[in-house]
Amino acid sequence: MIAQELRSVTERIAAAAARAGRDPSSVRIVAVTKGRPLATAQEAAAVGLLDLGENRVQEALGKMDAWPGAPVRWHFVGHLQRNKAKHVVGRFALIHSLDSVRLADALQEAAAARDLVQDVLVEVNVAGEEQKTGCPAAEVPALVEHAAGLSHIAVRGLMTMAPFTADVAAQRRTFAGLRQVREELVGRGFRLSELSMGMTNDFETAVEEGATMVRLGTVLFGERSI
């Protein structure tokens, strides 16, 4: 089942990349297994989906503990509270949701205590939606500069979520906006290789606009029961 859906998604990513003149191999799928049993994550890994996304700390840690030595890279893709920083550093290959200086400092402290460097993405609220988390676009340069001065976190790129709408133009504005933010930061000398953007309902548009990671759940696994 997952293998068949993965083939379809891979074809759609390839077509979107071709429309943008991109190499489809530059786009990585983060299979979002939140709210799904460990068996689903294991089945995903068995068909080659080795980047798995979770957004609830306790649920994710439970899966990790039940699957020691898993051949996967875990991604934290949900909103992260500062008091959970100590639980996630070193457990996730990449945290997609750095959205404030205070969270950066909490991650720095937790990572320093474990003597490691935690890779992160800065989450940007490109569309300015009040109900969405993420750093306002105008404040991103200051946050990235602050994080760049911390020795135990490494900002690898940016993440965003488009408004949940069927309006492709609105989706495209959001994704193009994140790409522009990255281009401006690269122009200032920051090295930001990743753009995490695009979900089940809009990932093809995200790929056309430069996504290097798409976070996909429903299109791979079907609707969640919880």
**Model confidence band, residue 184 (pLDDT cutoffs 50, 70, 90):** very high
**Model confidence band, residue 226 (pLDDT cutoffs 50, 70, 90):** low
Distance CA 123, CA 198 (A): 13
**Model confidence band, residue 31 (pLDDT cutoffs 50, 70, 90):** very high
Q: Where are the beta strands (DSSP E) in 126-200?
A: 135-136, 153-159, 194-196
Evaluate if residue 2 carries a pLDDT over 90. Answer: yes
Question: What local confidence, expressed as pLDDT, does residue 127 receive?
Answer: 84
For residue 210 the two structure tokens come to 């430069």
**Model confidence band, residue 131 (pLDDT cutoffs 50, 70, 90):** confident
Distance CA 118, CA 147 (A): 11
- Residue 161 C-beta-side C-alpha neighbours within 13 Å: 21
**Matching residue, tokens 């297994």:** 33
Residues 124 and 161 sit within 8 Å (Cβ to Cβ): no
Please provide the size of the chain in residues. Answer: 226
What percent of the chain shows pLDDT beyond 90? Answer: 93
Any idea what the Cα angle at residue 118 is, between residues 114 and 119, rounded to 5°? 170
Distance CA 41, CA 46 (A): 9
Phi, psi for residue 52 in degrees, rounded to 5: -115, 135
> What is the rounded end-to-end Cα distance, in angstroms, of the chain?
20
**Model confidence band, residue 133 (pLDDT cutoffs 50, 70, 90):** confident
Question: What local confidence, expressed as pLDDT, does residue 149 receive?
Answer: 97
Mean pLDDT computed over 107-113: 98
